[in-house]
């Protein structure tokens, strides 16, 4: 009997569990407005950049007011055919978690008809599905940033190697030049040694000539 009762409670609660939405609030123009949230394991700057780029590809450009991205009267066909005002706020999830962020996503029709926890379940589900894509966007953006940074590191390493090779080439040219100069100098020394020997002999001859005179 107890097992049947537990099963009945689970069946009753199951629809509520699967339909539960994560709603919070953000402050906009002096009042609190409802916003659906999603957590993303990328830093807030990367996440914001990814979302802005996505909306720009759709042809929508944000006005930023007090850290909130504001889009006026735009149509997001994945959610609804009607135009909405959209607010997006991205915060670091906590002071300790710099590489995790929370996205607050708020939509309002006719300025003040916000999508909230009591809104139509199908509409909420479409919003939830839409903002869940932000995770993939942020991950892709983060990867692109890593790729760009790595490309810059590779270019820097290649340039450093090129500089080293040029320095080596210059050193080798200097060594060749110095080697040639050394060989030339050795020849000059040998020639000068012979000249010294000749001058000494000439002096000895003159001295001998003086003795015999």
- What secondary structure does DSSP assign to 82-145, as a single string? S-EEEEEEEEES-SS-TT-EEEEEEEEETTTEE--TTS-HHHHHHHHHHHHHHHHHHHHHHHHH
The predicted structure's pLDDT at residue 120:
87
pLDDT for residue 213 is more than 70: yes
What pLDDT sits at residue 17? 35
Could you give the CA distance from residue 51 to residue 148 in angstroms, rounded to a whole number? 19
The contacts of residue 76 (CB under 8 Å, 6+ apart) are 58, 84, 86, 130
Q: Which residues is 64 bridged to in the sheet?
A: 69
| pTM for the full predicted model | 0.69
* List of domains in the chain: 20-148 (3.30.530)
CA–centroid distance for 25 within its chain: 30
Instruction: For residue range 129-138, list pLDDT tens digits in order.
Output: 999 999 999 9
Pairing of strands 63-65, 31-40: unpaired
Nearest Cα residue to 117 out of 21, 15, 32: 21
Query: Which pLDDT score, from 0 to 100, does residue 21 have?
Result: 44
Confidence of residue 110 (pLDDT cuts 50, 70, 90): confident
Question: Sign of dihedral through CA atoms 192, 195, 201, 203?
Answer: negative
- pLDDT by residue (tens digit) across 144-197? 999 999 999 999 999 999 999 999 999 999 999 999 999 999 999 999 999 999
Closest CA to 76 of 106, 97, 33: 106
Q: Which two tokens stand for residue 40?
A: 């993303």
Whole-angstrom distance, CA of residue 46 vs CA of residue 98: 11
Residue 6: band (very low, low, confident or very high) from pLDDT cuts 50, 70, 90: very low
pLDDT for 209: 87
Helices (H) and strands (E) in the chain, counts: 3, 7
């Amino acid at each position: 009997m107890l097992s049947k009762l537990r099963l009945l409670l689970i069946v009753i609660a199951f629809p509520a569990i699967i339909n539960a939405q994560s709603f919070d609030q953000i402050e906009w123009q002096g009042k609190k407005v409802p916003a659906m949230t999603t957590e993303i394991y990328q830093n807030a700057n990367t996440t914001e950049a990814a979302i802005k780029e996505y909306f720009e590809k759709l042809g929508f450009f944000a006005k930023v007011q007090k850290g909130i991205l504001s889009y006026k009267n735009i149509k997001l066909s994945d959610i609804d055919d009607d135009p909405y005002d959209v607010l997006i706020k991205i915060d670091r999830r906590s002071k300790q978690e710099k590489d995790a962020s929370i996205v607050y996503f708020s939509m309002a029709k006719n300025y003040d008809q916000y999508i909230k926890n009591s809104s139509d379940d199908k509409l909420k589900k479409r919003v939830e599905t839409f903002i869940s894509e932000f995770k993939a966007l942020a991950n892709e953006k983060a990867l692109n940033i890593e790729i760009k940074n790595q490309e810059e590191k590779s270019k820097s390493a290649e340039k450093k190697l090129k500089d080293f090779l040029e320095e080596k080439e210059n050193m080798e040219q200097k060594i060749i030049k110095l080697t040639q100069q050394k060989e030339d100098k050795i020849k000059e020394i040998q020639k000068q040694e012979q000249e010294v020997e000749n001058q000494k002999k000439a002096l000895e001859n003159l001295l001998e000539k003086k003795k015999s005179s």
